[in-house]
Chain A
Amino acid sequence: MSQLPAPVSLPIITPEEVSREAAPRLPRWLKRNVPKGNSNHFTANLLEELRLETVCDNAKCPNRMECYSQKTATFMILGNVCTRPCGFCAVAKGKTQQVELDEPDRLAEASARLGLAHVVITSVTRDDLDDGGAEHFYRCVLAVRERTGAAVEVLTPDFLGKPGAIERVVASRPEVFNHNTETVPRLYREVRGRKSDYRWTLELLRRVKELDPTIKTKSGLMLGLGELRDEVLDTLADLRDVGCDLLTLGQYLQPSPEHLPVVRYLPPEEFDELGLAARRMGFAQVASGPFVRSSYHAREMAE
């Protein structure tokens, strides 16, 4: 750590201060430019025509204007209702939908018509399914690859540790296997809910690497939820210990007043510093910045 630049001061914030500072005014670096033209409508219309969901829309991603205008999106399979009430996430929770067996074909069709060379597939968490949705992931990866020849990145839930689930997704041989850590261990239950377990996140990433070392593993954290700098660095060290190759660090933004408040907006230079620290820890690629999300510029990272 002694080779790193002096860390940006990161104060410990008390619960009272968190409450007082809830939903502070958005700093200028988190504002987007007004989009020019409406080229993003092509992507939005195609998704509607093919009845496909994206995490971009469902999670209210702040980058979706940019991504849609570049004819890219992160497809969200297995419906748009999630079985876990994570405090940070805007995806709807409640009664899940029936798995649509033609979804892999529609996903492949969209990927082909968008001309994608790198397709990112994520899903809602489906703890209600026997395999957590692993078989559907498998079918989607194969359908996209067969139709387009594109590289495929999966961003999966933890499958609740269901036997055989990770193995089934790995059998589809995605180029990148992403599973987000989201936050540091101290905040895990508060942020991700009581069913989520930090140790299982690490175990999932380790297991993927063990099953197929040629698959790049990837993870990401949202910052600004009250974590301390040393906690972040310890978490990154844990990820490196399980062989994680790619890392994303981005600013948490509160999707609505009902979600967890933002404790702090990290300035861009602090993201730069953490990104540098992560590279020195051995991550092959690191994307660190206020607007970075787990699949933001995913193709460039994977290459």
Chain B
Amino acid sequence: MHKDLVLRGSPIIMSRVLAGLTFLFFLFNATPGWSHRVLIYAWPEGNTIHTESKFVPGGAVRNGEVKVLDNKTDQLLVTGKTDAQGKFSFAIPPQALAQKMDLRIVLEAAMGHKAEWLLKAQNYLPGTGDSKPSAAPAGPSTDSQVAAPSGSSPAPLDRQTLEQIVDQALDRKLAPIMEMLAQSQTHKPSLPEIIGGIGYILGIWGVAAYFKSKRNKVS
């Protein structure tokens, strides 16, 4: 009798329970602790580095703690917290630019979740391999260069300024692509993998059964 009761009443109960649970979620606005893997990725745009943190599967990491360290010396450069979208951006620290540090960006989310992303120096330094970092911002120098040709003959822009202009434009254009590339690292479990996993588990227990059966025969 009880069994019937549970089985028949279940859809209504379940839908009510789900509604109640949704309410609970909004009430607590809790970090999703049941998500299993946490990821952080970073990409540069001009003088800023953007990071985004995610639970996979799940969603944005809210209020996660982000630490930026020098990969070689573990020196702490920047700390911050992720916003509601799991994003956190910071200006590239001057000492990182000067010493061409590889940046290790560490995310510590709640409940023992932790992730890292290594941003190599050559990926964010302006003008790769250039001996002169962009100490002088491109703005004024281009102005003077652009102003000059308007006077008389069109003097060619000097090499370095041109490079800086191209770098800036490329940074702007490439930032969304960098973000997409970084995002493509987030990998949800696919159906073939899940089915493969089940196969492995059954296989492992099959092997166990084999050894148990051998022992049974011996004894």
Q: Do A and B come from one complex?
A: no
